[in-house]
Chains A and B, each alone.
Chain A
Amino acid sequence: MEILRALSDAFGLLLTGDQALYEIIFLSLQVNLSAVALAALIGFPLGALLATSRFIGRGFINMMVNTLMGLPPVVVGLLVYMMISRSGPLGVLELLYTPTAMIIAQLILVTPIITALTRQSLSRLNDDYQSMFFMLGLSPWRRMRTLIYDGGMDLVTALLAGLGRAMAEVGAVMIVGGNINHYTRVMTTTITLETSRGHLSTALALGAVLLTMTLIINALVAILSGGR
């Protein structure tokens, strides 16, 4: 009974355009999209480089990417916290409990995924193209550009996978963002808080939004990778 009440309240909140709720949704999108965009800026070229070139330190970077990909988000949150807290090396920047701090944490979580997926699909493409690249005597830079261009659809898929992970993330953004009302409160952290307080309707409303967004992201991934 209570659950049904919570559900109808949840839709009420969404339909009436509850300001606090939409503020949270908007901040979530802002933080996650910024983090994913920055992660792509690093992950695409880095993944392409790892897929195409042999260089000193490549093994180390590969290992870092794989490790970071498997790292629990709370650990990343903790590490970022230690870096930016008042006594940390970046303490003077006063980033703790700001949206910027959340973007940094998300960036660290998402970049390895985008890098690894880029590396995987582009190294397959590179195998296909390698003999042509060689015969044409192309520079590593030109090879990389070609792969990123021709692997475009795969890269969009990698981007969406990164976005999916960012949207689902709680632990790290909670630690470095502090879940401050009207400032660093995003969808997942709000759901955690409101559920523990017993305010199921707000939690459910955000849950529904999150579910819908995740569904859309995954549908896009399916459509894009279905063409292969």
Chain B
Amino acid sequence: MSIKPTYLTLKGEGLGLKRDSRMVVSNADITVSSTGLTGLIGANGSGKTSLISMLAGLTVPDYGVVSLTDHAGRVASRKQIGLMMQKPVIMRRSVYRNCEYVLSALNIPLSERADRIMAGLALMELEHYAQQDARTLSSGEQQRMALARVLMASPGVLLCDEATSNLDPKSTQMIEAVIMDKAAAGMPVLWVTHNLAQLRRLARQVVFMQKGEILANQNLDDFFHTPACSDVAEYLAYERI
């Protein structure tokens, strides 16, 4: 865990995605950088997962470009993106081996792996599950494992799609603490959530999507107090219900 982290800037410009002759994302500009956590919110089907998937490179955009660069503007490898999807990949292996697979694929030296894995699992209070078949974990435990696994690779940028959707309040708080630490240390984070209270706790910047379009991209205070458009105000009105 001693390597000096190098944080990257992930940028999408004019991103558009067409599915079944419908634009599920259109003309989206977004930057994820070391300036604190960026929250991404919007109703179901508004295009959040599609946008993340394009930023990660998993989906090829129909319009626009994605770039991943270091502080000097040099192009960086996609392997440095930490992606936690809405439905994480759970390998048919033990929790420990799930983590080890990722570290070995990223060429983390063998001598470092065990320490990293145990520290990462401990961070998510999963150290006692190391030998359990990952498929038999509860969905909340799987989510914690996925987050532990992505963090122990020390990514240069982190994309999380509803990382706490299955978690109890205590686990949620535990993960929020970890993520806040990382963001404060400069890790660029894009964080999708439906939980507005969580957004208030974590985000520095908020991106709001509706029907595939980014309608607002504001800092946290402005977003809640002087929303960029009436759609945001309408969306926020539900918080009181």
Q: Which residues of A contact B (CB under 8 A)?
A: 125, 128-129, 131-132, 134-138, 142, 146, 150-151
Tell me whether A135 and B78 are in contact (CB under 8 A): yes
Q: Report Cα–Cα, A137/B107, bound state, in Å.
A: 12
Closest to B155 in A: A135
CB <8 Å contact, A138 and B105: yes
Distance, CA A151 to CA B91, complexed state (A): 10
CA distance A207 to B139 in the complex (A): 50
**A146, B100: Cα distance in complex, Å:** 13
User: Do A137 and B89 touch (CB < 8 A)?
Assistant: no
Beta-carbon contact of A135 and B58 below 8 Å: yes
What class of interface size applies to chain B in its complex with A?
10 to 19
Chain B hits for A136, CB < 8 A: 79, 102, 105-106
Looking at chain A's contact residues, the main secondary structure is helix
| B220 in the interface (beta carbon within 8 A) | no
Q: A135-B81, A136-B79 are in contact. List 17 more A-B contacts (CB 8 A).
A: A125-B92, A128-B89, A129-B89, A129-B91, A131-B83, A131-B85, A132-B102, A134-B57, A134-B58, A135-B56, A135-B79, A137-B77, A137-B78, A137-B79, A146-B101, A150-B92, A151-B92
Please determine whether B58 and A131 come into contact, CB atoms closer than 8 angstroms.
yes
Asked if B89 contacts A132 (CB within 8 A), the reply is yes
**Alpha-carbon distance A138/B106, docked complex (angstroms):** 9
**Contacting residues, chain A, for B92 (C-beta < 8 A):** 125, 150-151
What are 7 A-to-B residue pairs whose CB atoms are below 8 Å?
Answer: A131-B83, A131-B85, A131-B89, A132-B89, A134-B58, A135-B56, A146-B101
Q: State whether A142 and B105 are in contact (beta carbons under 8 Å apart), knowing that A135-B58, A135-B78, A137-B78 are contacts in the complex.
A: yes
